[in-house]
Amino acid sequence: GENVEQHPSTLSVQEGDSAVIKCTYSDSASNYFPWYKQELGKRPQLIIDIRSNVGEKKDQRIAVTLNKTAKHFSLHITETQPEDSAVYFCAASTGTGNQFYFGTGTSLTVIP
């Protein structure tokens, strides 16, 4: 099955700096890559996603890039704010309805 690796496991940045989280996947058939944010004690929430026919997608301060050849995708958060502090999970899926394979998570701390 698919194997998703995520780095780093922890990340601390100063408020206003950028944060980058990277994931790699193993199954070249994967074609959908969502990112989830999980605040302490809460459920994961979808923040952005990208499909394999697109190389980059932006939503305000958040962007995701995908390199299909290298089988990696990244989450970029610019102008970080304390409320961005959370655990972020990447995931990969091979098709509609198919299960997501999750990375192990990155704990992001934004220092005011």
Among 37, 44, 85, 94, binds other proteins (CB under 8 A): 44
100 near other proteins (CB under 8 A): yes
Q: Which is nearer to other proteins, 53 or 69 (CB)?
A: 53
Q: Which is nearer to other proteins, 30 or 34 (CB)?
A: 34
Give the interface segment with other proteins, choosing from 13-21, 35-43, 53-61, 77-85 (CB under 8 A).
Answer: 35-43
Give me the least distance between CB of 55 and other proteins, in Å please: 19
Q: Which residues contact 30 (CB under 8 A, 6 or more apart)?
A: 2, 52, 92, 93, 94, 101
* Three-state secondary structure string covering 48-100: EEEECCCCEEEECCEEEEEECCCCEEEEEECCCCHHHCEEEEEEEECCCCCCC
Of 19, 13, 11, 22, nearest to 76 (Cα)? Answer: 19
Among 40, 43, 60, 112, binds other proteins (CB under 8 A): 43
Task: Give me the residues that bind other proteins (CB under 8 A), please.
Answer: 6, 32, 34, 36, 42-46, 49, 89, 96-97, 99-100, 102-105
